[in-house]
Structures are given as C-alpha cells and as structure tokens.
Homo-oligomer: A and B are copies of this chain.
Amino acid sequence: MKIFSATIATLMFMTIGCKNSPPVPKPLTHQPVKRVGMVTGLKPEKLAYYKQLHASAWPGVLNKISECNIHNYSIYLKEIEGRYFLFSYFEYTGTDFEADMKKMAADSVTQRWWKETDPCQQPLPDAASQGQIWSTMEDVFYAP
C-alpha cells in the first residue's frame, strides 16, 4: 500500500506540478531475511548432557541470540548409522551479520555457554579445518 501511495503521489506531482506538494515518500525497503542451515557432529558420550543443557538453555544465552537478530533458531538431532549429528536452522533479520556474530562472541555468558557446548560437538572436517564448530549447508530450496 505504501508503494502504491508513493506511485499515486508521484503521478499527482508530475501531473499537477504543485510547488507546495509534500516530498514524495520513498517506497519501503525490507531487509531480506537470511536463512541459514548448519550441521555438526555430536559425541555419543555427550548426548545426554547436550540435550539436558539445551532443554533449559540459559536465559542470558537466549536473550543474546535474540539481541543479535537471530530468530527461529532450531537445533535437531539425528543418529545416522551409529553417529550423531546436529542440524540447525535460523533466520537472521539484522543488517550486519558479521558484526552481530562478533557481538555474540564477545558476550561473557555466551562464552561460558560455549565452554559447555563446544566439547560436546565433533566438527565435520571442513569446519574443523577452519577452527569452526558448525559447517554451513547449501540452500537448495525455499517455499515461503
């Protein structure tokens, strides 16, 4: 509706050419949501502890996730032929992903949380070679 109104206002301005017309409003621009899927391994001996941690995640960690514009952050667990994998999905709604990730990494509560979770995880070779825990997956389909 905003875009439609702006178009009408532009047309009116062009047609009537009134000097006192208010400035034509810019059409709304929405920041597209960045959707991310990631995967990592989970050590079998840490299965129970990892689930327990995440079943009652620390409020400070949850707040920081939200503050850093990460939403709908979901982690799923699957055993595939005797090995455990974690899959995550989240939506990033901010404007500077790198900056928000640095902000999260600088948070002391999040750092303490990662001290608990990192030893549970078994990064895949591509993540491990970069000193990361999670590997980014390739996005092949999206239906809104």
Q: Spell out A's residues near B (CB within 8 Å).
A: 35, 37, 39, 50-51, 54-55, 57, 62, 65-66, 70-78, 80-81, 85-87, 89, 91, 124-125, 135, 137-144
Contact = CB atoms under 8 A, between A and B. Distances in A.
A144 B78 contact: no
Contacts of A142: 72-75
A81 to B, nearest CB: 8
A83 to B, nearest CB: 9
A35 B144 CA distance: 14
Contact of A51 (B73, B74, B140): B140
Quickly give the copy total for this chain: 2
Contact of A143 (B70, B77, B86, B87): B70
Contact of A86 (B74, B135, B140): B140
Given A66-B143, A66-B144, 11 more contacts: A50-B140, A54-B141, A57-B141, A70-B143, A71-B143, A72-B72, A73-B141, A75-B142, A77-B138, A80-B124, A87-B87
A75 B144 contact: no
A57 B140 CA distance: 10
Contacts of A55: 140
